[in-house]
Structure 1
Amino acid sequence: MSMPYRMNVFVDDDRKVMVLRVIGPMPGFEYAERLFEAYDTVPDAWNYARLMDFRRFEGELGFKEIDAIADRWKAMTDGIDYHGKVAVVSTDPLDAVRVPAVSPQFPKETVCHFSDFHEAMDWLTAGGGEAQALAG
């Protein structure tokens, strides 16, 4: 019997982008576990721009899960000098408010919310000044 939910992970090593697409009613604690399993598949995951695609996610990520993810990410990147970009793609209008609210928990990342997958990918893969213009 298959699970009613899944996480698909796509890694583009050439552009240093990870896409994590969650489908179905995945529990928040399992999302956190699968997220770090995905990070373990690439060397130095913090060097990858990350696109979190929640358009087909039917579960809920509560503060408890977000705090646990932030703590685990901080432990994983402790002492590493980097700056990452994270695009959160969701059609839930409340995520436009939620994403900036949790961004301070990830101080070495620029985290932006998008409702369109392609706009998010364009932002992640834009270089130099173009990336700054899109983020502003």
Structure 2
Amino acid sequence: MSLRARVTFSIDEASRTLVFRYIGDLTGDRLYAQIINYIQTIEAPWLYDFLVDARRFEGVIQSSDTETFGRWWADLAQGRDTGRRIAVVSSDPLIHARKGLRDAIFPHRTSGVFDTMDEAQEWLATASPQAAA
């Protein structure tokens, strides 16, 4: 049975983390449109870390879609997200391989790619961010 494609959102105010869950077969433009709509509802979203749960994601995000989102984010955040982090959870080798692209598109943030939510949450909870492979 195929999953209903969607992105779900939640906020962990205690840890200042926005949680994005990618589920099913989504295109990058559709996925990022939903993320932009959600982020626009958050006051000062640059003050939050991002936790991306892509374990149930079945689509492919084009690099160009990520670059377009990155430009939108840079215009919004204007560097105010310096020191924040992006943790991505996935077993997909392509998502792991694109860490360098994420680092280039989000130069003010430190990113890490993890196989489990526990690893990602532990990394986000550390006091001093270090890049994770």
Scaled by the length of structure 1, the TM-score of the pair is 0.86
Comparing 90-99 and 47-56, the one that deviates more: 90-99
Distance 1:81 1:21, change over 3 A: closer
Q: Name structure 1 gaps, 5 residues minimum.
A: none
Distance 1:42 1:122, change over 3 A: same
Identity of aligned residues (%): 29
Distance in structure 2 (CA, Å) of the matches to 1:79 and 1:9? 23
Moved over 4 A (4+): none
Structure 2 partner of 1:69: 69
Q: Does 1:13 align with 2:13?
A: yes
Distance 1:17 1:102, change over 3 A: closer
Judge conservation of contact 2:111–2:132 (CA < 8 Å) in 1.
no
Question: RMSD value over aligned CA atoms?
Answer: 2.0
Distance 1:28 1:85, change over 3 A: same
Structure 1 partner of 2:30: 30
Judge conservation of contact 2:81–2:109 (CA < 8 Å) in 1.
no
Judge conservation of contact 2:7–2:34 (CA < 8 Å) in 1.
yes
Distance 1:117 1:45, change over 3 A: same
Judge conservation of contact 1:23–1:56 (CA < 8 Å) in 2.
yes
Scaled by the length of structure 2, the TM-score of the pair is 0.88
Give the partner amino acid of 1:97. A
